[in-house]
Amino acid sequence: MAAGRWRAGLALLAVALGLGGPRAEQMEEHLKREHSLSKPYQGVGSASAGLWELQGNAIVMAQYIRLTPDVQSKWGAVWNRVPCYLRDWEMQVHFKIHGQGKKNLNGDGFAIWYTKDRMQQGPVFGSKDNFLGLGVFVDTYPNEEKQQERVFPYISAMVNNGSLTYDHDRDGRPTELGGCTAMVRNLNHDTFLVIRYVKRRLTEWRDCIDVPGVRLPRGYYFGTSSVTGDLSDNHDIISLKLYQLTVERTPEEERRDKEVYLPVVDNLKLPGMEAPLEPMSGLALFLIVFFSLVAIVFAIVIGVIVYNKWQEQSRKHFY
């Protein structure tokens, strides 16, 4: 399918599934091939060449990259080798989840990552816990037995500054930014996930997640990972396409969107996720040091005077 037809088809599908719709503002977009993964997957997994690296049980097939087969206790991942320094971006994930298991007898799902560390195996859909960055999870199995209001598969997002642990037994509920049900398993048509990060705003399936005040550092890595346990599924990635978005900013937005060095979400009341304090200016630091030194000198002078008075009084008493 030609690129224009593919994009048009994606837009129609996004509207049909509630993934998005017309953009609220004008923006230009440019495909960034160094951060994108698509057929024929040339160089993927090679030791010294290629932009993407495989991990675990992930394998390259002609039409997709299989993160895990429909087999118990497997895990796999694929990670971009190039750090991303884009300010505003959109990641379009074309994927397929399918298997022999019946509803709620399959698992476990997969994750899309934008994190500081890459290629590190762990318990969160095959990748490390206490990560730095963003994780978007397509969870296909309910681990929390007592929950009833949530229907799976379920999509959620989490921002972590390294201090938070993903609660697998509760399906990540304590730390999620938001989420929604998405019937994405064993479908006969294509399934997509669109994650957009513009002006510190994270959106993912517009009616699912829309979080302002998300501050992500630049220079992190994109990746995707999956895991199976006692239950399993085929988790296939057909393409990952990253678009650079060019948007206009007001002077106030430019001031507000300054560079950050730790992931954080404004006004998010989660343990360890408080917004970092603003760094002191050079003048403020100088004044603090100056007056501290003056106070120390003053205290020393007062101490010397008091000591001399005490000695003088001691001599008078002696004589």
Predicted confidence band at 167 (pLDDT cuts at 50, 70, 90)? very high
Residue 131 CA to residue 111 CA, distance in Å, equals 13
Is 0.85 surpassed by the pTM of this model? no
In the prediction, which pLDDT does 316 show? 57
Residue 153 CA to residue 151 CA, distance in Å, equals 6
DSSP 40: T
Only one residue has tokens 């994108």, namely 36
Q: What average pLDDT does the structure give for the chain?
A: 86
User: Do the Cβ atoms of 220 and 115 come closer than 8 Å?
Assistant: yes
In the prediction, which pLDDT does 75 show? 98
Quickly count: other Cβ atoms within 10 Å of residue 247's Cβ.
15
In the prediction, which pLDDT does 25 show? 56
Residue 86 CA to residue 90 CA, distance in Å, equals 10
In the prediction, which pLDDT does 286 show? 75
Quickly count: other Cβ atoms within 10 Å of residue 177's Cβ.
19
DSSP 175: G
